[in-house]
Chain A
């Protein structure tokens, strides 16, 4: 019955708007709900008050192949160009520079994460999500969208890191 009523309504509206006129903008329904991106403090998995994306964990190196990494004070521009190109083809489907998208923007990441952590997250996101607290919380904060392993070499990940230093 419901379906029939709906169909009739749909049919009528189709008839009304068949000429390609703009449909009336509707607001949709609304109930009191918080956005999933704002609920981190309520998520049981999170113990920290600050959302994972804004947390500063510079002392954490994460888990994965990179144990220790010292950055040259000078930024290597050639590496930056390489990193930017690799980032563009392999990462921009989910990470935008100017906004939060599927995953966080890499802007300012150097102030929040250690170079080792960043490299490990790129090189073995699955292991990180299993074993690293911050990576785990990020997965929850970003709606369960697990970061894809793009099978990059350490050299490629390092170039991306260099690019991040310029953001």
Chain B
């Protein structure tokens, strides 16, 4: 069957190529233009969309262009990254600090671009660390991680990092419920005792700084995914749940007992007001807040000691549970804010709740019991419709600006297009294989830019040349501008993308920073001009103030270093031209090289262990004389009296 399908596809492909040749220049519907033409971005030309793909277990965020599928950058967020020295340089080590100490890795999920009035504004992109619960904010002018905040009382920060429609809050809902506060207790006393924290982290409008404002301590369910209300439902946030059985073992079976779990509707505005009026309980906590400053080029980590927790039963009318069949995974809100889509991952159908009906049911007190004091709304009272898809295993839904929704089906490996309102299935296209998330630029906002759809698959198998047992995950681009979706292109991704965010290129292109200005460099160890390059010793700590320009280091000869010293090389790149970084590495360094952007200062630590004369060099090919960009450090025995000296060209 599969073979037959491939041959048909192959024939179709061939036909498209032929037609494409005969008909170049014109495009009258999907079949009259070639898919290759649609994804081809000629040398020197640029893509029309940015796509930010989560890197999953790589811990990082990758930047792609659409429609070409070309990868432009990997932005290190939660993982050490020797390519730039992130997490290795002295300035960026604090970014990976947590209450558990230095954690050099995380599982990065769910990018979301900042919004104003429900539309993408391109200031920042937020991502979450799933393993050691964290949220990160990445600047979309420097494309660097600027802030990471740890989430206390949480475990498995999965229903995150989605934002409200004016970027008031970025949420962090816990996937795993845990004892709050953490304590030593039997695991099988989970039921009724564990809590699921939904954290609301505010975003300062001017500089994006994050602050954990409050945590709602929900029943011990698993909070899976979430989406903000928008337009009419602005002020609410929706979280899907599974394991409402509160099982603590063999969840594969035990968490699938209930016919329905819930989507929790949280009126965050109401809770915000409650907290502003002094509500909530202050709880002792310990969590890291790490901020990177663009002008000092330095990260600092502060431990925070307190958090405000909210007992949902103390704020009546703030939280309701919407019964949703079969362990819902995706919880997606359409651009109008009217519909909340719950994808029961063990189901064939997609459940759509109505915001208006929900409000009416609340008003009319159409309850179907309660869970730990939280009212459960009657399923029929909130249900807007069911999409009888014919597929299996719906996971995630995105939207276009023409009233359609697109849902991925993991088990049946396909994307299904359906009408929001009539619930009628309009089209379906296979994915290769086992699709997880999908992304339409702006597809999680009031204003989607619905030309392309990217499907992110979990299984690659035969799509590419084999590379041993481990392969990168595949993604596929579809043209969704017509009635029917058209598969255009396959491309490999990095790590495992769990969701992505995209936007039109013109939103970010003009504000992308080209250089850091040297005269704005406020680094504590900056070398503002080459005549201030020097080496200072204090005990066994040595600070080298070094500057670089094509193609030499100032200084490039250093003597008087001793075995056992801790030598800090503070490198200031004096270039002020776009795309002229210099690198620095030295033999036997126990960290990574550092890549220093124009106008930036970065520091690497070297602890010489052996007597000798040791070279260092520039790691980034910077000019025709790059190979000459090198120097020597003389290392003498610990008891030596060789004087500290440095020079260039003498």
CA distance A93 to B574 in the complex (A): 8
The listed residue (A89, A102, A144) touching B529 by CB distance below 8 A is A89
CA distance A148 to B598 in the complex (A): 11
Q: Are B577's CB and A102's CB within 8 A?
A: no
Which residues, 139 to 164 on A, are CB-close (under 8 Å) to B?
143-146, 148-152
Q: Are A93's CB and B515's CB within 8 A?
A: no
Q: Are A89's CB and B519's CB within 8 A?
A: yes
Q: Are B531's CB and A144's CB within 8 A?
A: no
Q: Chain B residues with Cβ under 8 A from A151's Cβ?
A: 515, 576-577
Chain B 603-634: CB-based contact to A (< 8 A → 1; otherwise 0): 00000000000000000000111000000000
A114 to chain B, nearest CB (A): 24
Residue of B nearest to A92 (CB): B530
Q: Are A89's CB and B528's CB within 8 A?
A: yes
CA distance A94 to B642 in the complex (A): 29
Q: Are A145's CB and B623's CB within 8 A?
A: yes
Chain B 529-556: CB-based contact to A (< 8 A → 1; otherwise 0): 1110000000000000001011110100
- The size of the chain B interface, using a CB distance under 8 A, is 27
Q: Is chain A's interface secondary structure helix, strand, loop, or mixed overall?
A: loop
Chain A 44-69: CB-based contact to B (< 8 A → 1; otherwise 0): 00000000000000000000000000
CA distance A149 to B529 in the complex (A): 16
Which residues, 117 to 146 on A, are CB-close (under 8 Å) to B?
143-146
Check A20 for interface membership: any CB of B closer than 8 A: yes
CA distance A88 to B623 in the complex (A): 22
Which residues, 2 to 29 on B, are CB-close (under 8 Å) to A?
none
Q: Are B576's CB and A150's CB within 8 A?
A: yes
Check B157 for interface membership: any CB of A closer than 8 A: no
> Known contacts being A20-B636, A149-B576, A151-B576, is A89 close to B549, with CB within 8 Å?
no
Which residues, 515 to 533 on B, are CB-close (under 8 Å) to A?
515, 518-519, 528-531
Q: Are B624's CB and A150's CB within 8 A?
A: no
Check B649 for interface membership: any CB of A closer than 8 A: yes
Q: Are B649's CB and A101's CB within 8 A?
A: yes
Check B580 for interface membership: any CB of A closer than 8 A: yes
Q: Are B531's CB and A88's CB within 8 A?
A: yes
Q: Are B636's CB and A89's CB within 8 A?
A: no
Check B640 for interface membership: any CB of A closer than 8 A: yes
Check A90 for interface membership: any CB of B closer than 8 A: yes
CA distance A151 to B576 in the complex (A): 6
The listed residue (B529, B550, B637) touching A88 by CB distance below 8 A is B529
Check B146 for interface membership: any CB of A closer than 8 A: no
CA distance A101 to B515 in the complex (A): 26
Check B165 for interface membership: any CB of A closer than 8 A: no
Q: Chain A residues with Cβ under 8 A from B515's Cβ?
A: 151
Check B414 for interface membership: any CB of A closer than 8 A: no
CA distance A145 to B625 in the complex (A): 7
Which residues, 473 to 525 on B, are CB-close (under 8 Å) to A?
515, 518-519
CA distance A93 to B532 in the complex (A): 11
> Known contacts being A20-B640, A93-B547, A93-B554, is A148 close to B575, with CB within 8 Å?
yes
- The size of the chain A interface, using a CB distance under 8 A, is 18
CA distance A134 to B641 in the complex (A): 50
CA distance A94 to B550 in the complex (A): 9
Residue of A nearest to B517 (CB): A151
A93 to chain B, nearest CB (A): 4
Residue of B nearest to A139 (CB): B624
Q: Chain B residues with Cβ under 8 A from A92's Cβ?
A: 529-531
Q: Chain A residues with Cβ under 8 A from B636's Cβ?
A: 20
Q: Are A93's CB and B624's CB within 8 A?
A: no
Q: Are A148's CB and B580's CB within 8 A?
A: yes
CA distance A149 to B625 in the complex (A): 16
CA distance A146 to B554 in the complex (A): 18
CA distance A146 to B580 in the complex (A): 13
CA distance A88 to B532 in the complex (A): 10
Best-surrounded residue of B518, B531, B574, B641 (most CB of chain A within 10 A): B574
A77 to chain B, nearest CB (A): 21
B331 to chain A, nearest CB (A): 47
Which residues, 552 to 582 on B, are CB-close (under 8 Å) to A?
552, 554, 574-577, 580
Q: Are B577's CB and A144's CB within 8 A?
A: no
Q: Are A145's CB and B550's CB within 8 A?
A: yes
CA distance A88 to B529 in the complex (A): 6
Best-surrounded residue of A92, A93, A150, A152 (most CB of chain B within 10 A): A93
Residue of B nearest to A89 (CB): B529
Chain B 413-424: CB-based contact to A (< 8 A → 1; otherwise 0): 000000000000
CA distance A20 to B515 in the complex (A): 45
A105 to chain B, nearest CB (A): 14
A112 to chain B, nearest CB (A): 24
Q: Chain A residues with Cβ under 8 A from B575's Cβ?
A: 148, 150
Q: Chain B residues with Cβ under 8 A from A20's Cβ?
A: 636-637, 640-642
CA distance A120 to B447 in the complex (A): 46
Q: Are B625's CB and A150's CB within 8 A?
A: no
Which residues, 68 to 106 on A, are CB-close (under 8 Å) to B?
88-90, 92-94, 101-102
A14 to chain B, nearest CB (A): 9
B644 to chain A, nearest CB (A): 15
Q: Chain A residues with Cβ under 8 A from B640's Cβ?
A: 20
Q: Chain A residues with Cβ under 8 A from B624's Cβ?
A: 144-146
CA distance A150 to B577 in the complex (A): 6
Q: Chain B residues with Cβ under 8 A from A150's Cβ?
A: 575-577
Q: Which are the 3 A-B pairs with shortest beta-carbon distances?
A: A93-B549, A151-B576, A150-B576
Q: Which residues of A contact B (CB under 8 A)?
A: 20, 88-90, 92-94, 101-102, 143-146, 148-152
Q: List 11 A-B contacts (CB under 8 A).
A: A20-B636, A20-B640, A20-B642, A93-B530, A93-B552, A143-B625, A144-B624, A145-B624, A148-B550, A148-B575, A151-B515
A92-B531, A151-B576 known; 20 new pairs, CB 8 Å cut-off, are: A20-B637, A20-B641, A20-B642, A88-B529, A88-B531, A89-B574, A90-B518, A92-B529, A143-B625, A144-B624, A145-B550, A145-B624, A145-B625, A148-B575, A148-B576, A148-B580, A150-B576, A150-B577, A151-B577, A152-B576
